[in-house]
Amino acid sequence: MFQPMFPGVPAIAPTELDAAAPVPPGTTLLDVREQDEWDSAHVPGSVHIPLGDLPARYGELDPDLRVLVICHSGARSARATQWLTEAAGFDAVNLDGGIVAWARAGLPIEA
């Protein structure tokens, strides 16, 4: 059974996603890593807003869509998920294990 790394923060494991369409319809994939991390590899179609910029830039996200948040290993995305749900009122979920777990699950990444 899946146990999230950060109890109390909504989370999903990459292995729970559909490999054929890992970003479900009606969902925005938000990458909160730094620019150099994004440049080295990211998920196709994801939106890039570094964690430190999120409070100023969250208005770029559609509040009617669920937000799946990803970082390197899941810690920054957990903080972003918590902030988005508690402070900004979004339906957000952390991708447990981050892009490392995403890649291990064989899901698509581009440089």
Strand partners, 48: 31
**Nearest CA to 72 among 108, 43, 44, 52?**
43
- Residues 6 or more apart whose Cβ sits within 8 Å of residue 4: 10, 11, 94, 96
Chain CA centroid to CA 65, Å = 13
Residues with Cβ within 8 Å of 21's Cβ and at least 6 positions away in sequence, in order, are none
* Catalytic residue positions, numbered: 71
**Is the distance from CB of 76 to CB of 99 less than 8 angstroms?**
no
